[in-house]
Amino acid sequence: MKIAVLPGDGIGPEIVVEAVKVLHALDLSFELETAPVGGAAYAALGHPLPASTLKLAKDADAILFGAVGDWKYDNLERHLRPEQAILGLRKNLGLFANFRPAICYPELVGASSLKPELVAGLDILIIRELTGDIYFGQPRGRRIATDGNFPEAEEAFDTMRYSRPEIERIAHVAFQAARKRSKRVTSIDKANVLETFQFWKEVVTEVGQQYPDVALDHMYVDNAAMQLVKAPKKFDVIVTGNMFGDILSDEASMLTGSIGMLPSASLNASNQGLYEPSHGSAPDIAGQGIANPLATILSAAMMLRFSLNQEEAALRIENAVKSVLAQGLRTPDIYSEGTTRVSTIEMGNAVVKAL
């Protein structure tokens, strides 16, 4: 089992090291190799996704990823900025299926902005398409307009697009995931305005006919942004495109109040995957030893389940995380009165102990 370890920027290195510690504590043998990515890779090798890092990632069964981005790199040209690394990995490895659970742990209900009764027991799985849509659509760029509200003005443009097989494969992922849960899928679109999402809705509906045991409904993206706030527990599996998924998955994570707990997985057709916390690189707290490593540790669990076929080890990690929460251990982001404040390293050690 070959794992590429890409710590990245900000708190990335601190949290990844804890996840690696947890992996080593299992009775499994991995081949781990680390490489720079993001701003750290730009600083060391002049590019956020150096060829050597990309090769390592391609050759691995799975990638354990920290986070990228730091204010230091904000003024670089776009193609050199840290986030290009993550876009490049998604594209080059064909990681089209992004799994973003939004789970509210019972002990952490109080951390949510929402009233406790609205989030207690929350367990949504957002499935976001990750290699299509306006993120990668061509053509894009700048030009002089020839029509529109101001013909002859300078303009910038991008292309939103989805092809039938792109929609079909992510729909299958969603329906199959729903079969293992409560058998409900909500597909989010903007079919009332966009050609792309009218087509999306049609194709998802067609695929749905192959899953008569799964209930499918459709919702506009603006309404979904509202319903997530109003009654998030009404959702189970959500499937949507790359752009809407970016916005809604972040909104849903934040509803839990504990984004420091939420893992993510991005898979390709051969179940090779990239695993990373749902939160960012948080350069403001980097190096202080206070970052929450649990989202990354839980991402390692997803990695064992999805890419390495080690369901049992995945469950061991997930149970260990539940147990440290039950023990009352908390990094500062999830601390509340009456619990015990611990550092990044102490949290990692506690998970190892609980395994």
Active site residues: 135, 190, 222, 246, 250
CA distances in angstroms from 307 to 169, 310, 312, 354, 355, listed in the order given:
18, 8, 13, 24, 21
Least separation in angstroms between residue 112's CB and a copy of itself is: 8
The rounded distance, in Å, linking the Cα atoms of 321 and 319 is 5
- Rg of the chain over Cα atoms, rounded to whole angstroms, equals 20
Rounded distance between C-alpha atoms, residue 88 and residue 196, angstroms:
23
Residue 230 lies near a copy of itself (rule: CB under 8 A): yes
From the list ligand IPM, a copy of itself, none, pick the one residue 307 interacts with, judged by a Cβ distance below 5 to 8 Å according to partner type: none
Q: Select from ligand IPM, a copy of itself, none the partner in contact with residue 318, using the beta carbon and a kind-dependent cut-off of 5 to 8 Å.
A: none
Is 198 annotated to bind a ligand? Reply is no
User: Choosing among ligand IPM, a copy of itself, none, which partner's interface includes residue 20 (Cβ < 5 to 8 Å by kind)?
Assistant: none
Binding site for ligand IPM (CB under 6 A): 83, 86-87, 192-193, 222, 246
Residue 135 vs 335, nearer CB to ligand IPM = 135
Strand 141-144 relative to strand 329-330, pairing: unpaired
Q: Which uninterrupted H or E stretch holds 315?
A: helix 311-326
* CA separation for the pair 86, 92 (Å, rounded): 10
Residue number, 188 or 351, with CB nearest to a copy of itself = 188
Phi, psi torsion values for 61, nearest 5 degrees:
-75, -30
Cβ nearer to a copy of itself, comparing 32 with 134? 134
Strand-strand pairing, 340-341 and 237-240: unpaired
Q: Which is nearer to a copy of itself, 199 or 323 (CB)?
A: 199
Nearest to 100, CA basis, from 232, 231, 295: 295
Residue 332 CB, nearest approach to ligand IPM (Å): 23
Please give the structure tokens belonging to residue 101: 């659970």
143 labelled ligand-binding: no
Give how far the C-alpha of residue 264 lies from the chain's centroid of Cα atoms, to the nearest Å. Answer: 4
Which residues in this chain contact a copy of itself in the complex, by CB under 8 A?
A: 78, 81, 83, 87, 94, 96, 113-115, 118, 131-132, 134-138, 140-142, 145, 147-150, 153-166, 190, 192-196, 198-200, 221-223, 225-226, 228-230, 243-244, 246-251, 253-255, 259
The annotation places the binding site at 90, 100, 128, 222, 246, 250, 280-292
